[in-house]
Structure 1
Amino acid sequence: MYREWDLPSPLVRCAWSATVEVNGTWLQPATEFWGLGFSSTADGPTAELLGPAAAPQEMCLRAGDTSWGVEFAAHVFFRGVSKDAATQVMPLPVHESTFELAGFALTLPAPTELSTLVDDLRRRGLLTAEEQVAAALDGRVDRTVSTRTLRRRVHSTVGLNRQQVAVIVRARQAFALLSEGVPVAEVVVRAGYSDQAHLTRSLRTLAGRTPREILLTDR
Protein backbone atom coordinates (compact mmCIF):
# COMPACT_ATOMS: atom_id res chain seq x y z
CA MET A 1 0.00 0.00 0.00
CA TYR A 2 1.43 3.35 -1.08
CA ARG A 3 0.29 6.92 -0.50
CA GLU A 4 1.58 10.47 -1.01
CA TRP A 5 0.77 13.75 0.69
CA ASP A 6 1.89 17.37 0.54
CA LEU A 7 4.19 19.10 2.99
CA PRO A 8 4.10 22.88 3.63
CA SER A 9 7.44 23.63 1.97
CA PRO A 10 8.24 24.86 -1.56
CA LEU A 11 11.38 22.68 -1.42
CA VAL A 12 9.34 19.47 -1.26
CA ARG A 13 7.56 17.65 -4.07
CA CYS A 14 5.77 15.22 -1.75
CA ALA A 15 5.97 13.01 1.32
CA TRP A 16 5.20 9.31 0.94
CA SER A 17 4.76 6.05 2.82
CA ALA A 18 4.52 2.41 1.75
CA THR A 19 3.74 -0.89 3.46
CA VAL A 20 4.80 -4.16 1.82
CA GLU A 21 2.10 -6.83 2.01
CA VAL A 22 3.83 -9.71 0.16
CA ASN A 23 7.41 -10.59 -0.74
CA GLY A 24 8.43 -9.58 -4.23
CA THR A 25 10.26 -7.09 -6.39
CA TRP A 26 9.33 -3.63 -7.61
CA LEU A 27 10.72 -1.84 -10.65
CA GLN A 28 11.26 1.75 -9.55
CA PRO A 29 10.92 4.05 -12.60
CA ALA A 30 13.60 6.53 -13.60
CA THR A 31 13.36 9.82 -11.71
CA GLU A 32 14.96 13.26 -11.58
CA PHE A 33 14.07 13.82 -7.94
CA TRP A 34 16.26 13.40 -4.89
CA GLY A 35 14.90 12.45 -1.51
CA LEU A 36 15.37 10.75 1.82
CA GLY A 37 13.81 7.36 2.61
CA PHE A 38 13.44 5.53 5.90
CA SER A 39 12.34 1.99 6.69
CA SER A 40 11.32 -0.15 9.62
CA THR A 41 12.36 -3.74 8.93
CA ALA A 42 13.00 -6.97 10.79
CA ASP A 43 16.70 -6.08 10.66
CA GLY A 44 16.15 -2.67 12.23
CA PRO A 45 15.73 0.90 10.94
CA THR A 46 17.38 2.13 7.74
CA ALA A 47 17.96 5.51 6.11
CA GLU A 48 18.77 6.15 2.46
CA LEU A 49 19.50 8.99 0.09
CA LEU A 50 17.36 8.35 -3.01
CA GLY A 51 17.67 9.23 -6.68
CA PRO A 52 18.08 10.28 -9.37
CA ALA A 53 18.35 7.61 -12.04
CA ALA A 54 17.99 7.65 -15.82
CA ALA A 55 16.83 4.01 -15.93
CA PRO A 56 14.49 1.85 -13.79
CA GLN A 57 15.95 0.06 -10.77
CA GLU A 58 14.74 -3.25 -9.33
CA MET A 59 14.01 -3.20 -5.60
CA CYS A 60 13.50 -6.26 -3.37
CA LEU A 61 10.47 -6.02 -1.09
CA ARG A 62 9.79 -8.01 2.09
CA ALA A 63 6.35 -8.46 3.59
CA GLY A 64 5.89 -6.42 6.74
CA ASP A 65 8.47 -3.76 5.91
CA THR A 66 7.26 -0.18 6.18
CA SER A 67 8.95 2.72 4.41
CA TRP A 68 8.39 6.46 4.30
CA GLY A 69 10.22 9.55 3.18
CA VAL A 70 10.28 12.89 1.46
CA GLU A 71 10.93 13.73 -2.20
CA PHE A 72 12.40 17.13 -2.98
CA ALA A 73 11.86 19.38 -5.99
CA ALA A 74 14.36 18.72 -8.78
CA HIS A 75 16.12 22.08 -8.29
CA VAL A 76 16.81 21.42 -4.60
CA PHE A 77 20.19 19.98 -3.65
CA PHE A 78 21.99 18.85 -0.49
CA ARG A 79 25.12 20.75 0.45
CA GLY A 80 28.03 18.39 1.03
CA VAL A 81 26.51 15.61 -1.09
CA SER A 82 27.92 14.95 -4.58
CA LYS A 83 25.44 14.25 -7.36
CA ASP A 84 28.04 13.58 -10.03
CA ALA A 85 27.61 9.80 -9.87
CA ALA A 86 23.85 9.33 -10.15
CA THR A 87 22.62 6.24 -8.36
CA GLN A 88 19.15 5.66 -7.02
CA VAL A 89 19.79 4.28 -3.53
CA MET A 90 22.63 5.27 -1.20
CA PRO A 91 22.47 3.81 2.34
CA LEU A 92 23.17 6.27 5.15
CA PRO A 93 24.72 5.31 8.52
CA VAL A 94 22.14 4.75 11.27
CA HIS A 95 22.92 4.87 14.99
CA GLU A 96 19.95 4.02 17.23
CA SER A 97 17.65 7.02 16.79
CA THR A 98 19.82 9.09 14.39
CA PHE A 99 21.20 8.93 10.86
CA GLU A 100 24.17 10.67 9.27
CA LEU A 101 24.00 13.00 6.28
CA ALA A 102 26.82 15.27 5.07
CA GLY A 103 28.57 15.07 8.42
CA PHE A 104 25.47 15.83 10.53
CA ALA A 105 23.66 13.52 12.94
CA LEU A 106 19.92 13.91 12.37
CA THR A 107 16.96 12.40 14.20
CA LEU A 108 15.28 9.48 12.45
CA PRO A 109 11.79 10.83 11.74
CA ALA A 110 8.44 9.08 11.99
CA PRO A 111 6.15 9.59 8.96
CA THR A 112 4.38 12.37 10.84
CA GLU A 113 7.70 14.12 11.54
CA LEU A 114 8.89 14.65 7.97
CA SER A 115 8.04 18.37 8.04
CA THR A 116 10.21 18.73 11.12
CA LEU A 117 13.06 16.95 9.32
CA VAL A 118 12.78 19.31 6.32
CA ASP A 119 12.86 22.31 8.64
CA ASP A 120 15.92 20.89 10.40
CA LEU A 121 17.73 20.29 7.09
CA ARG A 122 17.00 23.83 5.97
CA ARG A 123 18.02 25.33 9.31
CA ARG A 124 21.37 23.54 9.16
CA GLY A 125 21.96 24.85 5.64
CA LEU A 126 21.85 21.40 4.03
CA LEU A 127 19.03 22.21 1.60
CA THR A 128 19.45 24.81 -1.11
CA ALA A 129 17.07 25.72 -3.93
CA GLU A 130 18.73 26.71 -7.21
CA GLU A 131 16.19 28.98 -8.91
CA GLN A 132 18.14 29.23 -12.17
CA VAL A 133 17.94 25.46 -12.43
CA ALA A 134 14.20 25.54 -11.73
CA ALA A 135 13.78 28.04 -14.58
CA ALA A 136 15.89 25.93 -16.94
CA LEU A 137 13.89 22.77 -16.19
CA ASP A 138 10.66 24.69 -16.84
CA GLY A 139 11.98 25.82 -20.22
CA ARG A 140 12.47 29.45 -19.19
CA VAL A 141 15.58 31.06 -20.69
CA ASP A 142 17.97 32.93 -18.40
CA ARG A 143 19.98 35.37 -20.51
CA THR A 144 22.26 36.29 -17.58
CA VAL A 145 24.25 33.03 -17.72
CA SER A 146 25.95 31.18 -20.57
CA THR A 147 24.57 27.93 -21.95
CA ARG A 148 27.65 26.07 -20.74
CA THR A 149 27.37 27.47 -17.21
CA LEU A 150 23.68 26.65 -17.02
CA ARG A 151 24.29 23.14 -18.35
CA ARG A 152 26.93 22.56 -15.67
CA ARG A 153 24.70 24.03 -12.95
CA VAL A 154 21.75 21.81 -13.89
CA HIS A 155 23.90 18.68 -13.81
CA SER A 156 25.58 19.55 -10.51
CA THR A 157 22.19 20.28 -8.91
CA VAL A 158 20.04 17.51 -10.35
CA GLY A 159 22.61 14.86 -11.21
CA LEU A 160 21.10 14.56 -14.71
CA ASN A 161 21.11 16.88 -17.71
CA ARG A 162 18.11 18.83 -19.00
CA GLN A 163 17.47 16.43 -21.86
CA GLN A 164 17.37 13.44 -19.50
CA VAL A 165 14.98 15.28 -17.21
CA ALA A 166 12.71 16.24 -20.10
CA VAL A 167 12.54 12.62 -21.28
CA ILE A 168 11.66 11.42 -17.76
CA VAL A 169 8.99 14.10 -17.32
CA ARG A 170 7.35 13.14 -20.62
CA ALA A 171 7.45 9.44 -19.75
CA ARG A 172 5.91 10.14 -16.33
CA GLN A 173 3.07 12.06 -17.99
CA ALA A 174 2.47 9.18 -20.41
CA PHE A 175 2.60 6.64 -17.58
CA ALA A 176 0.00 8.61 -15.62
CA LEU A 177 -2.33 8.86 -18.62
CA LEU A 178 -2.06 5.15 -19.36
CA SER A 179 -2.67 4.33 -15.68
CA GLU A 180 -5.92 6.32 -15.95
CA GLY A 181 -6.97 4.16 -18.92
CA VAL A 182 -6.35 6.74 -21.66
CA PRO A 183 -5.97 4.95 -25.04
CA VAL A 184 -2.44 4.61 -26.36
CA ALA A 185 -3.09 6.67 -29.50
CA GLU A 186 -4.38 9.55 -27.39
CA VAL A 187 -1.41 9.31 -25.01
CA VAL A 188 0.96 9.60 -27.98
CA VAL A 189 -0.61 12.94 -28.92
CA ARG A 190 -1.11 14.36 -25.42
CA ALA A 191 2.40 13.50 -24.23
CA GLY A 192 4.05 14.72 -27.42
CA TYR A 193 5.50 11.51 -28.86
CA SER A 194 6.12 11.15 -32.58
CA ASP A 195 4.34 7.78 -32.78
CA GLN A 196 3.39 4.71 -30.74
CA ALA A 197 6.81 3.09 -31.25
CA HIS A 198 8.46 6.18 -29.77
CA LEU A 199 6.17 5.98 -26.73
CA THR A 200 6.85 2.26 -26.29
CA ARG A 201 10.64 2.69 -26.46
CA SER A 202 10.55 5.53 -23.95
CA LEU A 203 8.41 3.71 -21.40
CA ARG A 204 10.36 0.46 -21.72
CA THR A 205 13.64 2.33 -21.15
CA LEU A 206 12.44 4.53 -18.29
CA ALA A 207 9.79 2.41 -16.57
CA GLY A 208 10.66 -1.11 -17.74
CA ARG A 209 7.13 -1.64 -19.06
CA THR A 210 5.26 -1.26 -22.33
CA PRO A 211 2.06 0.79 -22.74
CA ARG A 212 0.03 -2.44 -22.94
CA GLU A 213 1.50 -3.72 -19.66
CA ILE A 214 0.70 -0.43 -17.93
CA LEU A 215 -2.89 -0.45 -19.25
CA LEU A 216 -3.41 -4.04 -18.04
CA THR A 217 -1.97 -3.66 -14.53
CA ASP A 218 -2.39 -0.06 -13.36
CA ARG A 219 -6.07 0.66 -13.91
Structure 2
Amino acid sequence: MALHTQDRPSDSPYIARVWRGHSSGVHRMTSVATSHWELVVWTHRGRTHAALRGPETAASTAAVPDDSASLGISFAHGVSLPHLPMPRLVDRQLDSPHADAYTFVLAGTRRPLPTFDDAEEFVARLVRDNVLVRDPLVAEALGGETPRVSARTLQRRVAAATGLTPSAIRQIDRARQAAVLLGEGAAPLDVTHRLGYYDQPHLARSLRRFIGRTATQLRRTDPAQPLSLLYKTHT
Protein backbone atom coordinates (compact mmCIF):
# COMPACT_ATOMS: atom_id res chain seq x y z
CA MET A 1 0.00 0.00 0.00
CA ALA A 2 1.82 3.12 -1.19
CA LEU A 3 1.71 6.30 -3.23
CA HIS A 4 5.15 6.71 -4.79
CA THR A 5 6.04 10.17 -6.11
CA GLN A 6 9.10 11.78 -7.65
CA ASP A 7 9.47 15.49 -8.34
CA ARG A 8 12.04 17.93 -9.62
CA PRO A 9 12.45 21.69 -10.00
CA SER A 10 12.75 23.34 -13.39
CA ASP A 11 14.89 26.06 -14.93
CA SER A 12 11.89 27.29 -16.94
CA PRO A 13 10.33 30.52 -15.60
CA TYR A 14 6.97 29.01 -16.55
CA ILE A 15 7.27 25.88 -14.38
CA ALA A 16 7.25 25.58 -10.59
CA ARG A 17 7.62 21.80 -10.38
CA VAL A 18 7.39 18.61 -12.44
CA TRP A 19 6.25 15.41 -10.75
CA ARG A 20 5.19 11.85 -11.47
CA GLY A 21 3.65 9.15 -9.32
CA HIS A 22 2.29 5.64 -9.10
CA SER A 23 -0.35 4.32 -6.73
CA SER A 24 -0.64 0.80 -5.37
CA GLY A 25 -3.32 -0.17 -2.87
CA VAL A 26 -4.10 3.47 -1.97
CA HIS A 27 -7.71 4.53 -2.46
CA ARG A 28 -7.65 8.10 -1.17
CA MET A 29 -5.25 10.87 -0.23
CA THR A 30 -5.35 14.23 1.47
CA SER A 31 -4.98 16.82 -1.25
CA VAL A 32 -3.29 19.76 0.45
CA ALA A 33 -3.94 23.36 -0.57
CA THR A 34 -1.75 24.77 -3.31
CA SER A 35 -1.42 28.22 -4.86
CA HIS A 36 -0.34 26.81 -8.24
CA TRP A 37 -2.43 25.39 -11.07
CA GLU A 38 -1.23 22.38 -13.00
CA LEU A 39 -1.64 20.09 -15.97
CA VAL A 40 -2.11 16.47 -14.92
CA VAL A 41 -2.02 13.35 -17.09
CA TRP A 42 -2.84 9.93 -15.67
CA THR A 43 -3.33 6.38 -16.92
CA HIS A 44 -5.70 3.93 -15.27
CA ARG A 45 -6.89 0.56 -16.56
CA GLY A 46 -5.42 1.23 -19.97
CA ARG A 47 -7.10 4.61 -20.43
CA THR A 48 -5.31 7.95 -20.51
CA HIS A 49 -6.82 11.09 -19.03
CA ALA A 50 -5.68 14.73 -18.92
CA ALA A 51 -6.98 17.69 -16.94
CA LEU A 52 -6.22 21.17 -15.74
CA ARG A 53 -6.36 21.46 -11.95
CA GLY A 54 -6.66 24.89 -10.43
CA PRO A 55 -5.24 26.24 -7.18
CA GLU A 56 -6.79 24.59 -4.11
CA THR A 57 -7.72 26.91 -1.25
CA ALA A 58 -8.25 24.22 1.41
CA ALA A 59 -7.26 20.64 2.11
CA SER A 60 -9.65 17.95 0.92
CA THR A 61 -9.89 14.18 0.53
CA ALA A 62 -9.37 12.97 -3.03
CA ALA A 63 -9.90 9.54 -4.57
CA VAL A 64 -6.81 7.78 -5.93
CA PRO A 65 -7.35 5.26 -8.75
CA ASP A 66 -5.59 2.03 -7.79
CA ASP A 67 -2.57 1.01 -9.87
CA SER A 68 -2.53 4.31 -11.77
CA ALA A 69 0.43 6.28 -13.13
CA SER A 70 0.34 10.08 -13.20
CA LEU A 71 2.39 13.05 -14.37
CA GLY A 72 1.98 16.69 -13.43
CA ILE A 73 3.40 20.05 -14.49
CA SER A 74 2.83 22.68 -11.82
CA PHE A 75 2.99 26.16 -13.30
CA ALA A 76 4.81 29.12 -11.76
CA HIS A 77 3.00 32.11 -10.30
CA GLY A 78 2.15 34.58 -13.03
CA VAL A 79 1.65 31.94 -15.74
CA SER A 80 -1.87 31.70 -17.09
CA LEU A 81 -4.04 30.62 -20.02
CA PRO A 82 -5.38 33.52 -22.15
CA HIS A 83 -8.36 31.43 -23.27
CA LEU A 84 -9.41 30.54 -19.71
CA PRO A 85 -9.95 33.10 -16.90
CA MET A 86 -7.90 31.79 -13.98
CA PRO A 87 -10.59 32.44 -11.34
CA ARG A 88 -12.67 29.78 -13.12
CA LEU A 89 -10.01 27.18 -12.29
CA VAL A 90 -9.82 27.81 -8.53
CA ASP A 91 -10.86 24.67 -6.62
CA ARG A 92 -11.88 23.04 -9.89
CA GLN A 93 -10.68 20.46 -12.39
CA LEU A 94 -11.36 20.77 -16.12
CA ASP A 95 -10.93 17.51 -18.00
CA SER A 96 -9.62 17.41 -21.54
CA PRO A 97 -12.47 16.42 -23.88
CA HIS A 98 -10.23 13.95 -25.75
CA ALA A 99 -7.12 12.10 -24.57
CA ASP A 100 -5.43 8.91 -25.71
CA ALA A 101 -2.08 7.21 -25.16
CA TYR A 102 -0.25 9.82 -27.25
CA THR A 103 -2.22 13.08 -27.39
CA PHE A 104 -4.80 15.24 -25.64
CA VAL A 105 -6.77 18.38 -26.46
CA LEU A 106 -5.85 21.75 -24.95
CA ALA A 107 -7.22 25.10 -26.10
CA GLY A 108 -9.04 23.38 -28.96
CA THR A 109 -5.92 21.74 -30.42
CA ARG A 110 -4.67 18.17 -30.14
CA ARG A 111 -1.19 18.11 -28.60
CA PRO A 112 1.34 15.40 -27.74
CA LEU A 113 1.38 14.26 -24.12
CA PRO A 114 4.26 15.66 -22.05
CA THR A 115 6.72 13.41 -20.23
CA PHE A 116 8.68 13.84 -17.01
CA ASP A 117 11.85 14.62 -18.96
CA ASP A 118 10.50 16.83 -21.76
CA ALA A 119 8.16 19.07 -19.72
CA GLU A 120 10.22 22.16 -20.54
CA GLU A 121 10.05 21.50 -24.29
CA PHE A 122 6.31 20.87 -24.05
CA VAL A 123 5.73 24.14 -22.18
CA ALA A 124 7.97 26.07 -24.58
CA ARG A 125 5.76 24.92 -27.46
CA LEU A 126 2.67 26.14 -25.60
CA VAL A 127 4.34 29.53 -25.10
CA ARG A 128 5.21 29.77 -28.80
CA ASP A 129 1.60 28.94 -29.65
CA ASN A 130 0.34 31.65 -27.23
CA VAL A 131 -1.47 29.02 -25.15
CA LEU A 132 0.51 30.15 -22.10
CA VAL A 133 1.42 33.71 -21.10
CA ARG A 134 3.42 35.02 -18.16
CA ASP A 135 3.13 38.24 -16.17
CA PRO A 136 6.67 38.84 -14.85
CA LEU A 137 5.48 41.48 -12.40
CA VAL A 138 3.33 38.90 -10.60
CA ALA A 139 6.23 36.46 -10.42
CA GLU A 140 8.56 39.15 -9.08
CA ALA A 141 6.13 40.49 -6.48
CA LEU A 142 5.21 37.04 -5.15
CA GLY A 143 8.91 36.16 -5.15
CA GLY A 144 9.61 38.95 -2.67
CA GLU A 145 10.61 41.86 -4.89
CA THR A 146 9.15 45.32 -4.35
CA PRO A 147 6.29 45.85 -6.82
CA ARG A 148 6.61 48.72 -9.29
CA VAL A 149 2.87 49.37 -9.30
CA SER A 150 0.22 50.36 -6.79
CA ALA A 151 -1.19 47.82 -4.34
CA ARG A 152 -4.53 47.90 -6.15
CA THR A 153 -2.93 47.23 -9.53
CA LEU A 154 -0.86 44.41 -8.10
CA GLN A 155 -3.94 42.86 -6.50
CA ARG A 156 -5.76 42.95 -9.83
CA ARG A 157 -2.88 41.44 -11.80
CA VAL A 158 -2.25 38.69 -9.25
CA ALA A 159 -5.94 37.78 -9.28
CA ALA A 160 -6.00 37.70 -13.09
CA ALA A 161 -2.88 35.51 -13.31
CA THR A 162 -3.55 33.15 -10.40
CA GLY A 163 -7.22 33.40 -9.42
CA LEU A 164 -6.11 34.19 -5.85
CA THR A 165 -5.19 37.22 -3.77
CA PRO A 166 -1.57 37.80 -2.69
CA SER A 167 -2.65 37.19 0.93
CA ALA A 168 -4.21 33.81 0.08
CA ILE A 169 -1.07 32.75 -1.79
CA ARG A 170 1.14 33.69 1.16
CA GLN A 171 -1.07 31.81 3.62
CA ILE A 172 -1.16 28.65 1.52
CA ASP A 173 2.57 28.64 0.78
CA ARG A 174 3.45 29.31 4.42
CA ALA A 175 1.28 26.39 5.59
CA ARG A 176 2.91 24.07 3.06
CA GLN A 177 6.35 25.14 4.24
CA ALA A 178 5.29 24.57 7.86
CA ALA A 179 4.11 21.07 6.97
CA VAL A 180 7.46 20.25 5.36
CA LEU A 181 9.38 21.49 8.40
CA LEU A 182 7.17 19.60 10.85
CA GLY A 183 7.46 16.46 8.76
CA GLU A 184 11.24 16.77 9.01
CA GLY A 185 10.98 16.85 12.80
CA ALA A 186 11.03 20.57 13.58
CA ALA A 187 9.29 21.57 16.82
CA PRO A 188 5.95 23.43 16.42
CA LEU A 189 7.24 26.36 18.48
CA ASP A 190 10.29 26.71 16.24
CA VAL A 191 8.09 26.60 13.12
CA THR A 192 5.78 29.21 14.63
CA HIS A 193 8.63 31.67 15.12
CA ARG A 194 10.50 30.81 11.94
CA LEU A 195 7.52 31.35 9.64
CA GLY A 196 5.96 34.29 11.45
CA TYR A 197 2.78 32.80 12.90
CA TYR A 198 1.30 34.76 15.80
CA ASP A 199 1.36 31.74 18.12
CA GLN A 200 0.95 27.97 18.07
CA PRO A 201 -2.88 28.07 17.88
CA HIS A 202 -2.50 30.22 14.75
CA LEU A 203 -0.19 27.58 13.28
CA ALA A 204 -2.63 24.82 14.24
CA ARG A 205 -5.56 26.56 12.53
CA SER A 206 -3.51 27.08 9.38
CA LEU A 207 -2.47 23.42 9.27
CA ARG A 208 -6.04 22.19 9.71
CA ARG A 209 -7.33 24.45 6.96
CA PHE A 210 -4.62 24.11 4.34
CA ILE A 211 -2.94 20.76 5.09
CA GLY A 212 -5.68 18.75 6.76
CA ARG A 213 -3.30 17.49 9.44
CA THR A 214 -2.20 18.47 12.92
CA ALA A 215 1.44 19.03 13.81
CA THR A 216 1.47 15.65 15.60
CA GLN A 217 -0.02 13.86 12.58
CA LEU A 218 2.61 15.39 10.29
CA ARG A 219 5.33 13.70 12.34
CA ARG A 220 4.12 10.26 11.24
CA THR A 221 2.99 8.93 7.89
CA ASP A 222 -0.45 7.56 7.18
CA PRO A 223 -0.07 4.91 4.43
CA ALA A 224 -3.86 4.56 4.16
CA GLN A 225 -4.31 8.26 3.29
CA PRO A 226 -1.03 9.93 2.27
CA LEU A 227 -0.59 13.62 1.53
CA SER A 228 -0.36 15.01 -1.97
CA LEU A 229 2.93 16.49 -3.13
CA LEU A 230 4.81 18.72 -0.67
CA TYR A 231 8.26 20.15 -1.31
CA LYS A 232 10.49 22.85 0.09
CA THR A 233 9.79 26.37 -1.15
CA HIS A 234 10.75 29.88 -0.19
CA THR A 235 8.04 31.76 1.75
Give the TM-score of the pair, scaled to structure 2.
0.86
1:13 touches 1:71 (CA, 8 Å); kept in 2? yes
Distance 2:205 2:165 in 1: 20
Percent identity over paired residues:
33
Residue 119 of structure 1: which of 98, 116, 124 is its match? 124
Residue 155 of structure 1: which of 159, 170, 174 is its match? 159
What RMSD over aligned residues (CA atoms) do the two structures have, in Å? Answer: 1.7
Shift, 1:43, TM fit: 5.5
Distance 1:7 1:135 in 2: 17
AA at the equivalent of 2:146: V
Matched, 1:140 2:145: yes
What SS does the corresponding residue of 1:70 show, helix, strand or coil? strand
Distance 1:217 1:23 in 2: 13
Query: Relative contact order: is structure 1 or structure 2 higher (C-alpha 8 Å, sep ≥ 6)?
Result: 2
AA at the equivalent of 1:109: P
What SS does the corresponding residue of 1:79 show, helix, strand or coil? coil
Give the stretch that moved more between structures: 184-193 or 96-105: 96-105
Residue in 2 aligned with 1:55? 58
Q: Deviations over 1:16-75 (max 9, x none)?
A: 001001132111111111111100111610001122011113211122100012111111
Residue in 1 aligned with 2:226? none
Distance 1:141 1:172 in 2: 23
Residue in 1 aligned with 2:36? 33
The alignment of Structure 1 onto Structure 2 pairs a total of residues equal to: 217
Unaligned runs of 5+ in 2: 223-235
Distance 1:135 1:114 in 2: 23
Distance 2:84 2:110 in 1: 14
Residue in 1 aligned with 2:133? 128
AA at the equivalent of 2:181: L
2:39 touches 2:74 (CA, 8 Å); kept in 1? yes
Shift >6 Å, 4+ stretches: none
What SS does the corresponding residue of 1:90 show, helix, strand or coil? strand
Unaligned runs of 5+ in 1: none
Give the TM-score of the pair, scaled to structure 1.
0.92
